[in-house]
Amino acid sequence: MTISPPPIATFGTRRLSNPELYLNHNAWDHVQFSPEQLQAAQLKVKQHNTLQPQNKQYNTQAHKDWDQFYTKHENKFFKDRAWLENEFRELFHYEKKDKDETYTIAEFGSGAGNTIFPLLRKNQDPNLRVIASDFSSQAIEIIKGHESFDAVRCKAFVYDLTDNELPPQVLPNSVDLIVLIFVFSALHPSKFSAVLSNIYTMLKPGGKLLFRDYGRYDLTQLRFQPKHRLEDNFYARGDGTQVYFLELEELEQLAKNAGFEIEVSGVDRRMIVNRLKKLQMFRVWLQAKFVKPLPL
């Protein structure tokens, strides 16, 4: 089975050529920090790092905090990801050697299903099999109770992607595409290598990992107060859930160490504008596609 090579999607095409015209739109793509803005962001994070790490229990009870999160918000907090086809066309456009061949897409950290349900609605391939997995049992219950859940086409189960063993529902070399969207950031960075090792084992040779997450100096990071810092670039939100902010070079090295080839990776920088208050806010996300090499 081969994945058709779709065009590499750009992160956005609305570019701000004249900074004085920033009020013309409420969002701009590929906006870089000025040297002064970068220095201010680095100083802000450095001030966070002057404190001693605290609240270490967050590292061992993350699943409980996310259970509480989904118990409170159910499926009302996150919106369905309408941008998926633009950025990750492989989810909707692929080739199979045989029309009756099964094609498997898995999302780990699936939350309330904001990726898998748009995928199932858009992709009507009867031989598509979707795996939805999260380490929050409450999130999986929300998925199974959703009106669009199809137990024939979708398998949903609880699994901690940092475990030393694969889930019994997934065999080695059995998955064509794996999706990780804002999953790394919810984990302690010491777990990243184990996660990528599990994903590598589950993917078929030639299979892909589609990745998106928070980047270093994102607005979310800069808004944290020092008291929420757990470790360098690692914070606890008020509800107990945690978040880590990655560097692109850090992510790429982790992927290479796990055996992946990098098809594409980059930083999605976006300026959000509050035109009423004339306020500029900078978002930073990492996006990448990693491939498990074919055997020589």
Residue 18 has what pLDDT? 62
**Pairwise pLDDT comparison (73 vs 95), residue with the higher score:** 95
Measured N-to-C along each axis, helices 62-73 and 137-144 cross at an angle, to the nearest 10 degrees, of 40
- Among left, alpha and beta (phi > 0; psi -120 to 50; other), residue 113 is left
For the chain, give the secondary structure using H, E and C.
CCCCCCCCCCCCCCECCCHHHHHHCCEEECCCCCHHHHHHHHHHHHHHCCCCCCCHHHHCCHHHHHHHHHHHHCCCCCCCCCCHHHHCHHHCCCCCCCCCCCEEEEEECCCCCCCHHHHHHHCCCCCEEEEEEECCHHHHHHHHCCCCCCCCCEEEEECCCCCCCCCCCCCCCCEEEEEEECCHHHCCHHHHHHHHHHHHHHEEEEEEEEEEEEECCCHHHHHCCHHHEEECCEEECCCCCEEECECHHHHHHHHHHCCCEEEEEEEEEEEEEECCCCEEEEEEEEEEEEECCCCC
pLDDT in tens, 192-224: 999 999 999 999 999 999 999 999 999 999 989
Residue 276 has what pLDDT? 80
Residue 239 has what pLDDT? 78
- 19-291 in CATH: which number? 3.40.50.150
Distance CA 287, CA 256 (A): 15
pLDDT in tens, 79-117: 545 668 778 888 888 877 777 789 999 999 988 888 888
Q: Does the pLDDT of residue 250 top 70, yes or no? A: yes
pLDDT in tens, 154-164: 999 999 999 99
244, 183 in Cβ contact below 8 A?
A: no
- Mean of pLDDT values over 61-88: 57
Q: Does the pLDDT of residue 264 top 60, yes or no? A: yes
Q: Distances in Å between the alpha carbon of 122 and those of 14, 112, 116?
A: 26, 18, 10
- Mean of pLDDT values over 232-251: 90
- Mean of pLDDT values over 257-273: 90
**Pairwise pLDDT comparison (121 vs 209), residue with the higher score:** 209
Name the band, by pLDDT with cuts 50, 70 and 90, for residue 73.
very low
